[in-house]
Amino acid sequence: MAIKQEISCRYFGIGGLTIRVEADLPITDITFNEKLKAFEEGGPGDDMIVIRHHFSLPDPESLGLGQLMYRQRPWAIYRQADSWIYLGILDETGNKDLFQIAIFNNEHSQADIYHRNSDVFSKGGCASLTLFPTDQILLARVLADRAGFYLHSCGVDFNGQGLLFAGHSEAGKSTMARMLAGQAKILCDDRIIIRNHPEGARIYGTWHHGDVPDILPASVPLQAILFLEKAPENRLILMEDRAEIMRRLLACIIRPFVTADWWAKSLDILERTAGTIPCYVLKCDKSGAVVDLLKKL
């Protein structure tokens, strides 16, 4: 009688989702980076994503790859009737020298991820659950099916209300996190999840931090979105032009492999957010005086 191989698994919570991570090798206390341990949970949740890790590569030709949808290092992405296949490629010409193969179901809620070997996993300190460069490749897709998206932003819990400070690199997100340290709970200084629920929008901390390592696996109602602009003065300007709000949100949304259905869902969510959440331009210096403006808000 064949002996069933023991599967090691752990659970992690992010954005109101539970991610079950399975592996053909034991998952130990050093397998994942410390920042991920803050999001570890004791068991399954109501809305679960499943990731299974394997440590040898199947022959890609045996998978019946399907239609090529995208090809640019490090990914070649193929579409089948009910699944997606991501090939981790090192060159632009063929599928011979692969470092990773990921097979997702149609909704990206289940994944079998095959690695060339177990070296990275066994060494420990993995910075993502998928062992991709970032888990946003997966999460940004599944969030669109759940009225959610990733925003390039710093998010804080300010007296029980969620404030988002949006902008790209060098906009001042990490500076804002430092100025608010001790006066607000920092959820993450660089990537925040927004989800629209029947009772209103909420923001969620993530492990994708920037210069400030403070992160929290917490959620809080979204009070306002503030688009950061460096200035010699501190001013808060209410935005009333929804087209301008959409333009700024689109510039900051984190994108996975983009498909027409993902865009349609995401644009609907962004329009809902732009129409219901107060948005401001926040002009600020580095003096810290901007905190008084936020208290009035």
What's the 3-state SS for 90-127?
CCCCCCCCEEEEEEEECCCCEEEEEECCCHHHHHCCEC
Question: Whole-model pTM?
Answer: 0.93
- CB atoms inside a 10 Å sphere around CB 130: 21
Strand arrangement of the beta sheet that strand 48-54 belongs to? 40-41, 8-14, 17-23, 48-54, 110-115, 98-105, 83-89, 75-79, 67-72
Please write the tens of the pLDDT for every residue from 112-123: 999 999 999 999
Structure tokens at 106: 């149609």
Q: What percent of the chain has pLDDT over 90?
A: 81
- CB atoms inside a 10 Å sphere around CB 200: 11
Q: What is the pLDDT of residue 169?
A: 79
Average pLDDT over residues 167-192: 91
How is residue 56 annotated by DSSP?
A: S
The DSSP code sequence of 123-189 is H--BSSSSSSS-THHHHHHHHHTTTEEEEEEEEEEETTEEEEEE-STTSSHHHHHHHHBTTBEEEES
CA neighbours within 13 Å on the CB side: how many for 171? 23
Asked whether the bond before 74 is cis by omega within 30 degrees of 0, the reply is: yes
Average pLDDT, the chain: 93
Domain layout of the chain by residue ranges = 8-133, 148-296
Class at the top of the CATH hierarchy for domain 148-296: alpha beta
Q: Give the residue among 231, 201, 180, 293 at the shortest CA–CA distance from 15.
A: 201
CA–CA dist 228, 198 (Å, integer): 28
Interaxial angle between packed helices 260-276 and 242-252, expressed in degrees from 0 to 180 and rounded to the nearest 10: 130
Buried b (16+ CB within 10 A) or exposed e, 85-96: bbbbbeeeeebe
CA–CA dist 280, 186 (Å, integer): 20
- CB atoms inside a 10 Å sphere around CB 171: 19
Largest Cα separation within the chain, whole Å, is: 75
Please write the tens of the pLDDT for every residue from 134-171: 999 999 999 999 999 999 999 999 999 999 999 887 88
Q: What is the pLDDT of residue 91?
A: 78
Please write the tens of the pLDDT for every residue from 220-278: 999 999 999 988 889 999 999 999 999 999 999 999 999 999 999 999 999 999 999 99
**Residue 6 — pLDDT band, cuts 50, 70, 90?**
low
Structure tokens at 104: 């997702």
